[in-house]
Amino acid sequence: MSRWLALGVALLLSACASVAPAPSAVRPDFAGVAGFTFTTDTFAFPNEIRARNPDREDLYANYCFVLARGLRQFFRFARFDPAAPRLAPEAYVERVRAVAAHAPWEPPAPPEARIVIPGYANLRDFSRAQEAAVKEGLGGRFWTLVHWTNWRVTFPVTRGHQATVAREVMDELDAGRMVQLLVTNWPKPELNHTVVAFAYRPGADGVEFLVWDPNDPGEPGVMTFDAGASRFRATHLYDTEPGLIRAFRMYYSWLL
């Protein structure tokens, strides 16, 4: 039995009580979202961590939900035109606001309907050069912090639930769609955060999900679904001790 076939059977059996559709038992050795490149299609600046900067008052902190949602919105609804003349910062603020006005679960816009960002080749270049305008255009963090789904970090979850999440993420990535995840190791006050999965690959214990972490623009993070334990693990997440975590999908419908 191949590794992916065994994993497919394990996911199906561990989530047998759920109503989610069964995944394909055969998976590719690597599945990533077509057209997405980590080094060009992500923000150049991080969500900063207050605990690491206790004496600074000007931190761009607690914006992880805004940035993760914004990453998906730019990928689905923006188009970059490096040959076009550059705009004044206030004009870029309005372009970013137009991108952020789209719900992240909407279908991707066709090229002719996308918001054009002139003068830059990609999101990394744009957000490096126009950091203040991008931050202003993405908007505030208040409603993302009090969204009712955030309270799921306090809930216990079953192994079947986590297997269902893993299967749904793989199915979404197979279909070419990035997945935003709420990740937590509560009650340990270390990880109550969001990341965006953009690829997966087989690992020694199950599936390794490659994620963009708003706290770390430098390199992809890794979280692993342990097929034997039917649990997620923080394998390589920024400023997080490796260990068991819980994962929930987020911002994939008007309710969730």
Per-residue pLDDT of the chain (256 residues; tens, 9 = 90+): 445 534 443 443 333 333 333 344 567 788 999 999 999 999 999 999 887 777 787 899 999 999 999 999 999 999 999 999 999 999 999 999 999 999 999 999 999 999 999 999 999 999 999 999 999 999 998 778 888 777 888 888 999 999 999 999 999 999 999 999 999 988 777 678 999 999 999 998 899 999 999 999 999 999 999 999 999 999 999 988 899 999 999 999 988 7
| Residue 179 covered by a domain | yes
CA 118 – CA 128 distance, rounded (Å) = 14
152 & 236 share domain: yes
218 & 237 share domain: yes
What's the total number of domains in the chain?
Answer: 2
> Which residue among 142, 175, 210 closes a domain?
142
pLDDT at 11: 43
162 & 244 share domain: yes
| Residue 173 covered by a domain | yes
| Residue 45 covered by a domain | no
How crowded is residue 239: how many other Cβ atoms within 10 Å of its Cβ? 13
87 & 135 share domain: yes
The pTM of the full predicted model, rounded to 2 decimals, is 0.87
151 & 225 share domain: yes
Assign residue 176 a region (left: φ > 0; alpha: ψ between -120 and 50; beta: otherwise). Answer: left
178 & 87 share domain: no
pLDDT at 154: 83
134 & 167 share domain: no
pLDDT at 215: 95
241 & 189 share domain: yes
205 & 232 share domain: yes
Domain encompassing residue 229: 3-32+147-249
| Residue 50 covered by a domain | no
Q: Which of 65, 176, 44, 48 is nearest to 120 (CA)?
A: 44
What phi, psi does 169 have (nearest 5°)?
A: -65, -45
| Residue 38 covered by a domain | no
187 & 244 share domain: yes
| Residue 46 covered by a domain | no
12 & 25 share domain: yes
| Residue 52 covered by a domain | no
> Which residue among 142, 168, 185 closes a domain?
142
77 & 168 share domain: no
| Residue 42 covered by a domain | no
Q: In this structure, what token pair is assigned to residue 188? A: 């340990």
> Which residue among 89, 121, 142 closes a domain?
142
